[in-house]
Amino acid sequence: MLYCRSCGRELTEDMKYCPSCGTPTEKRTIEEVSVAAEDLVKKVKELIHEGNVTKIIVKDEKGKVLLEMPVTVGLIGTVLAPWLAALGVIAALVTRCNITVERREA
């Protein structure tokens, strides 16, 4: 099921624009990756450099959201540093994490 990212209206697969607000629709896929805490920062950096990732959500083993991070093309340098510092703290507190990755399809 697809929903408009602006207004939340339910969309069908063939719609190119939201009929309510006119926002262009994008196909998105969601995948989940499980990593050890010591590999968390490294894996998130790899995902950011892939380029087609729009959102990264880090959860603990029980599914509790620890960090939700929007990823944009301009997210580099000093803007990225606080997110990575937060990931370092999370890695110190948990043993395993699940990373939910939202990707934009071409």
Q: What domains are defined for the chain? A: 27-104 (3.30.1490)
Name the strand (E) or helix (H) holding 90: helix 81-93
DSSP state of 67: E
Q: How far apart are the first and last CA of the chain?
A: 18
User: pLDDT of the chain along its 106 residues, tens only?
Assistant: 677 777 878 888 788 888 888 888 777 788 899 999 888 888 888 888 887 888 888 998 888 998 888 876 555 555 666 777 777 778 777 888 899 998 877 5
**Could you give the CA distance from residue 6 to residue 17 in angstroms, rounded to a whole number?**
11
Among residues 45, 50, 5, 44, the alpha carbon closest in space to that of 24 is found at 5
Reading the block at residue 4, the tokens are 């408009």
